[in-house]
């Protein structure tokens, strides 16, 4: 029988690993991921891809320092049908 590590055990290990309590919020606001002109022309999938790239860039830049990340579900829900899939990708 496989044992799963709890969220809090994983968090505790990560806090110890990076010696930090920093939690990074991931809020892909539409005005930050595409310009107004780009946003008006972008397909829903392009908007989702831009949100993913925005979050991934933040994660890559802060990985050595962050204990955890908190994606804001509302920003992903605003992306429409593919928003939930994008949230899972992040």
Q: List pLDDT tens digits, range 9-19.
A: 999 999 999 99
- Distance of alpha carbon 80 from alpha carbon 71, whole angstroms: 16
Sign of CA dihedral 32, 37, 38, 40: positive
Tell me: the pLDDT tens digits for 26-79?
999 988 899 888 888 999 999 999 999 999 999 999 999 999 999 999 999 999
Overall pTM > 0.75: yes
Q: pLDDT tier at 2 (50, 70, 90 boundaries)?
A: low
């Amino acid at each position: 029988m496989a044992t799963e590590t709890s969220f809090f055990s994983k968090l505790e290990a990560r806090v110890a690993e990076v010696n930090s309590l920093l939690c990074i919020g991931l809020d892909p606001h539409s005005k930050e991921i595409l310009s107004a002109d780009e946003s008006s022309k972008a397909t829903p999938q392009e908007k989702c891809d831009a949100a993913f790239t925005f979050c991934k860039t933040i994660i890559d830049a802060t990985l050595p320092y962050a204990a955890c990340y908190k994606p804001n579900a509302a920003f992903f829900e605003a992306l429409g049908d593919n928003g939930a899939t994008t949230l899972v990708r992040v």
